[in-house]
Structure 1
Amino acid sequence: MCHLSPQALRFYHAEGLLVPADVDERTGYRSYAFEQVERAMIVTLLRDTGMSVKLVRQSLDEPDRAAALLASHDAELRRQRAAQDEAIRAARALSVAQPQPRQRHRPATTVVARMVHGTPLGRDAREWETAEAAIAAASDDLVRLLEEAGITRLGRPWRALALESPEQDRRVLDGEGPFWIVKVAVAATAAALTALPAGTDVQEHPAYDEMSIFMPGRHTMAQYCTTILRLLDAQPLDDDRFVNVARLRQEIHEDGVLSSAPVEPRPQ
């Protein structure tokens, strides 16, 4: 009547979701009462939503919470589906575009920078997501600060590893941090830049050549490492220059990450 297979009936019995009205001690044959059809229907419906056995049991044992549990499960499914859709778009873009590094010239710019404090190392997925959220928040704060000061920004903010001085190098290598800096190129008068609050650094970046690559999809540790590998393998470069990935800068876009590293003379 419920189109449940013997395997499903045995499983639901073992999990306590649908206990038979009677079990023959000699044959192990399960018998069910007609009144159990409704419970079987509910179990089937909830399992068809992808709900776990644990949540199904909670819904059956606590009917007053059933609607809330189903709503929570629905929200989680939508979150997972959004993540899957994003991954599908990124995989399709990656397979079609076959991203390759390209060399380009970056003009001299005035840059406003701020350290990002409190980010973890990113040793696992949770730490990486925490760090990403902190860096994104710091970028938003920097953009908001410039807007309030009436300073025009030129393009998107970017992030870079905090490896710009021996002291920063030491703190990164020792695992102390901060590990990241957020920056944005600006067009502003000296007076406007001088009026920026403490903790904001104004830098003059000279013109230089850089190697850039756009990788579609969400910014992950695997994507970050793949980007570095592709930049290191970038061609053509003569024997006197190399791609300095220690100075990698990254712009986060809605559909991917633009990563660039300067092309520099090899140390003698």
Structure 2
Amino acid sequence: MLSISEFSQMCHLSPQALRFYHAEGLLVPAGIDERTGHRSYAFDQVERAMLITLLRDTGMSVKLVRRALDEPDQAVALLDRHSDEVDRQRRAQAEAITAARAVFEAQPEPQLRHVPATTVVGRLVSGTPLGRDAQEWDRAEDILLAAATELVTTVTQAGVTCLGGPWRTLALETQEQDRKVLDGVGPFWIVKVAVAGTSETLPSLPADLIVQTCDAHEELSILMPGRNTMAKYCTVVLRLLDAPPLDGDRFVNLARLRQEVRPDGVLSSAPVERRPA
């Protein structure tokens, strides 16, 4: 029999690791002195210690390691699934690093820009959750991205030319929309795209599409790198609120904030309007 110290040196596992594996049921000592509590190991347990080390070095959880050891015929399949998960995590980390670097390098600040008069086609988006947690927010993002893509496809198939990419804005444009949003019923969002032509010259479009004429105006815009999150959305709102004061009686109408998802990030823009007399 080998003492825990001897077994530790033989397997290159610390005594703390051996005690942890014992507690988790992965590597139970061959014997335990009832009086002193000292653990001892058999030489043939070296192989199991070696397998545990191999699997743990891959980043596998104790739970998966236990299953791989208890079901050796499933070990390769478990390793394959673990490898896929590791690749997914690496991609997610790489994206996060890129986004973090972009935010710190760009130091996004609001910019004032002119928007010419244009015709806009929109559609209410049903079924988006409120985004109360990260999972809900991501699900809403997926729904909005799909709805924006579908809107562009529908408009294009009708023979209408889209001018730039689609965007989304909160459904607060009518009293009915406003009431449904405040009641938590929804729809909460509208997806839109600028198009060539006017409401009079556009061909027939599906009845659920909304055609609007938008006058020329100024917007305060900010590009936030990376994917959209609730924290980034709130940060954009804060930076637009903290932007240098506008002259005269003009203000930034954050209730009409719109977001355009781009390959390099999300462009958020709010119109500059004059306060009512």
Structure 2 length normalisation: TM-score? 0.92
Q: How far apart are 1:103 and its partner, in Å?
A: 0.2
Q: How far apart are 1:45 and its partner, in Å?
A: 1.7
Cα distance in 2, alignment partners of residues 149 and 194 from structure 1: 7
3-state SS of 1:212 partner? strand
Equivalence for 1:260? 269
CA contact (8 A) 1:149 1:192 kept: no
How many residue pairs were aligned?
268
Cα distance in 1, alignment partners of residues 67 and 87 from structure 2: 21
Cα distance in 2, alignment partners of residues 89 and 262 from structure 1: 30
CA contact (8 A) 2:31 2:40 kept: yes
Equivalence for 2:141? 132
The one-letter amino acid of 2:192's match is: K
Q: How far apart are 1:245 and its partner, in Å?
A: 0.8
CA contact (8 A) 1:214 1:257 kept: yes
Cα distance in 1, alignment partners of residues 76 and 276 from structure 2: 66
Aligned partner (choices 196, 210, 219) of residue 201 of structure 1 = 210
Moved over 4 A (4+): 188-192
Question: Which 10-residue stretch deviates more, 184-193 or 209-218?
Answer: 184-193
Aligned partner (choices 83, 89, 100) of residue 74 of structure 1 = 83
3-state SS of 2:202 partner? helix
3-state SS of 2:44 partner? helix
Aligned partner (choices 237, 240, 243) of residue 249 of structure 2 = 240
Question: Closer, same or farther in 2 for the Cα pair 1:190/1:161, shift >3 Å?
Answer: closer
Aligned partner (choices 134, 155, 167) of residue 164 of structure 2 = 155
Cα distance in 1, alignment partners of residues 16 and 256 from structure 2: 58
Equivalence for 1:44? 53
Gaps of 5+ in 2: 1-9
Per-residue CA distance 1:70-91 (angstroms, 9 max, x = gap): 2222222222222211111111
Equivalence for 2:150? 141
| Structure ID, larger Rg | 2
Structure 1 length normalisation: TM-score? 0.95
Equivalence for 1:176? 185
Q: How far apart are 1:28 and its partner, in Å?
A: 2.1
Aligned partner (choices 86, 106, 119) of residue 128 of structure 2 = 119
Instruction: Calculate percent identity across the aligned residue pairs.
Output: 70
Q: How far apart are 1:201 and its partner, in Å?
A: 1.2
Q: How far apart are 1:192 and its partner, in Å?
A: 7.2
Q: How far apart are 1:216 and its partner, in Å?
A: 1.0
Output the aligned Cα RMSD: 1.5
